[in-house]
Amino acid sequence: MLDPAGRRSPFPAWAGVACAVLLAACSGGAASGPPALHWYVFNEQSGSFAAAAKRCSAESGGAYRVDMVPLPTAADQQRSQLVRRLAAHDPAIDLVGMDVIWVPEFAAAGWILPWKGDDARRALRDRLPSAAATARFRGRVWAAPLTANTQLLWYRSDRVTRPPATWDQMIRMAEALGDSGTIQVQGARYEGLTVFFTSLLASAGGRILAPGDTSVALPTGPTERALGVMERLARSPAADPALSTSREDQGRLAFEAGRSSFMVNYTYVWPSARADAPEVARHMAWAPWPSVIPGRPSRVTVGGIDLGVGAFTRHPRLAFQAALCLASVKSQRTAVTRGGLPPTDSLLYDDPDVRAVFPFADLLRATLRTAVQRARTPLYTDVSLAVMDVLHPLVDIDSVADVPRLRRAVRRALRSEGLR
């Protein structure tokens, strides 16, 4: 059962009777003991989040107990479940593990509580600046950054001697390799596509929204350059035939099968390749995400999980306390050593245990230091949909004509007029 009594109080009597008759799911009833805080977060497989929940409960000395409630595995379902229940003022949501892009939305809608004073300072202490920025919105702190994430370039060191520095170079190298030269990127119509575009655009010196995140930027030059890379890649033989349905994991599988020589992807591909395809892993190397403009370092999108406190919780004090503990360096250490989730604490990247998990720790930290935020607007979902709607499928991109289309679509989204 996911939650205790309470949130369904106006339950009609006849339904109650019906449920009783059919023996099923209407029970509930609060357990005794310390107040339970429900922590909604994605289903972390290694158990490191569950371990953190257990440790924090123990360290609280009986003040609270954290019960981890895994969200659905599908990414869009995680947000759906949370926002619908928060819109229904569900008091059972005490702690929320938010994808960093939800923070402005949840904050603006009043679904999470702002952090104040010492709590806010502690939540952001020693955090990588890009990770700390994900927790801020309109001058306030709304979350404690727990894990970060960003992409690197993965390539086959047995097929190319030096990693490509730019996208143009990479496409040329891949084309020269022939059948095994495929480049894996995220081209399906989903959030990964917006992330890909955001990174390309930032690397070209542009951004989707103007500073302040209330109006469209999409400057012509950089936008055309970013779209140009997508256009060129999609029409190149170096693109995967399944590009228009390709997500992170399809890319990983293709790379592990040896059919690809290049891939932009998250760090989880490294332990995965070592476990599933040791032959490939031996020749798997990493490099900075390729540049768009020669000589200008790329800027890659930052992701990760921020911990917020649900606005309708019955135990706000305890929830802030628990969130600080769950996002503490100790928890992050477990998350990275057991689950391979990159920390937001910048000092952890010097820890020998972390460097054992991430032999590329320095590159990862450097990438995160300069990482770029996705649009910081409560309407992020709509903005992202507008972007993917114009850009999908990549093979149909027209790098000149699509710039005004993109601006129009994003402008509509910002007016809350984005149909999806």
Partner 1 sequence: MSDRGTALERLFWRATVLVVLVYAGLPLAWIVSLSLKPAADLGDGHLVPRHVTLAHYGAVFANPHFPAALRNSLGIATLATLLAVALGVLAAYAVVRLRFPGRRLFLGGALAVAMFPPVAVIGPLFDLWRRVGLYDTWAGLVLPYLSLTLPLAIWILAAAFRDLPWDLERAARVDGATRLQALRKIILPLAAPGVAAAAVLVFIFAWNDFMFALSLTSTDHARTVPAVLAFFTGASRFQQPTSAIAAASVVVTIPVVVLVLLFQRPIVAGLTAGAVKG
Partner 2 sequence: MRIPREHRLGWLLCAPAVLAMAAVTAYPVLAAVRLSLYRYDLRFPDARRFVGLHNYLTVLTSAVWWKAVAATLVITLTSVSVELVLGMALALVMHRALVGRRTVRTAVLVPYAVVTVVAALAWRFAFNPTTGFVQGLGILDRPWLSVSWSAFTIIILTEIWKTTPFMALLLLAGLALVPGDALRAARVDGASRAQRFFRVTLPLMKPAILVALLFRTVDALRIFDTVFVQTRGALGTQPVSLVGYDTLLVSLNLGLGSAVSVLIFVLVTGAAVAIVRGMGGALPEASFR
- Site residues for partner 1 per CB under 8 A: 1-3, 7-12, 14-15, 18-19, 22, 24-26, 42-43, 45, 72-75, 77, 80-81, 84-85, 87-89, 247-249, 252, 268
Amino acid type, 111: W
To partner 1, the closest distance from the beta carbon of 11 in angstroms equals: 6
Binding flag, residue 401, partner 2 (CB under 8 A):
no
Binding flag, residue 418, partner 2 (CB under 8 A):
yes
What does 252 bind: partner 2, partner 1, none (CB cut-off 5 to 8 Å by kind)?
Answer: partner 1
Cβ pair 137, 108 in contact under 8 A: yes
Residue number with CB closer to partner 2 (15 or 356): 15
In angstroms, the CA 410 to CA 416 distance is: 10
Phi, psi of 188 (to 5 degrees): -70, 165
Report how far apart, in Å, the C-alpha atoms of 66 and of each of 38, 74, 135, 339, 343 are: 6, 23, 22, 19, 21
Binding flag, residue 84, partner 2 (CB under 8 A):
yes
In angstroms, the CA 183 to CA 5 distance is: 51
Contacts of 109 (CB under 8 A, 6+ apart): 83, 86, 87, 378
To partner 2, the closest distance from the beta carbon of 365 in angstroms equals: 34
Cβ pair 336, 356 in contact under 8 A: no
- The residue within the footprint of partner 2, chosen from 5, 31, 109, 176 (CB under 8 A), is 109
Binding flag, residue 392, partner 2 (CB under 8 A):
yes
Binding flag, residue 242, partner 2 (CB under 8 A):
yes
For tokens 């990760």, name the residue.
304
Q: Give the total of residues touching partner 2 (CB under 8 A).
A: 32
Binding flag, residue 420, partner 2 (CB under 8 A):
yes
Binding flag, residue 161, partner 2 (CB under 8 A):
no
To partner 2, the closest distance from the beta carbon of 350 in angstroms equals: 40
CB-side neighbour CA atoms (13 Å) of 337: 14
Stretch that binds partner 2, among 34-42, 51-59, 236-244, 258-266 (CB under 8 A): 236-244
Binding flag, residue 249, partner 2 (CB under 8 A):
no
Stretch that binds partner 2, among 106-114, 121-129, 294-302, 323-331 (CB under 8 A): 106-114
To partner 1, the closest distance from the beta carbon of 215 in angstroms equals: 29
Binding flag, residue 256, partner 2 (CB under 8 A):
no
What does 32 bind: partner 1, partner 2, none (CB cut-off 5 to 8 Å by kind)?
Answer: none
Residue number with CB closer to partner 1 (114 or 251): 251
What does 412 bind: partner 2, partner 1, none (CB cut-off 5 to 8 Å by kind)?
Answer: partner 2
Report how far apart, in Å, the C-alpha atoms of 5 and of each of 31, 66, 105 are: 10, 17, 28
- The residue within the footprint of partner 2, chosen from 243, 264, 319, 368 (CB under 8 A), is 243
To partner 1, the closest distance from the beta carbon of 307 in angstroms equals: 18
Phi, psi of 264 (to 5 degrees): -100, 125
Contacts of 229 (CB under 8 A, 6+ apart): 167, 168, 200, 292
What does 411 bind: partner 2, partner 1, none (CB cut-off 5 to 8 Å by kind)?
Answer: none
Of 85, 89, 91, the C-alpha closest to 28 is 91
Residue number with CB closer to partner 2 (84 or 314): 84
To partner 2, the closest distance from the beta carbon of 90 in angstroms equals: 13
Binding flag, residue 114, partner 2 (CB under 8 A):
no
Give, as ranges, the residues between 371 and 390 that touch partner 2 (CB under 8 A). Answer: 378-379, 381-382, 385, 389
Residue number with CB closer to partner 1 (189 or 411): 189
Residue number with CB closer to partner 1 (7 or 355): 7
Binding positions for partner 2, rule: CB under 8 A: 76, 79-80, 83-84, 87, 105, 108-110, 188-190, 241-245, 378-379, 381-382, 385, 389, 392-393, 412, 416-420
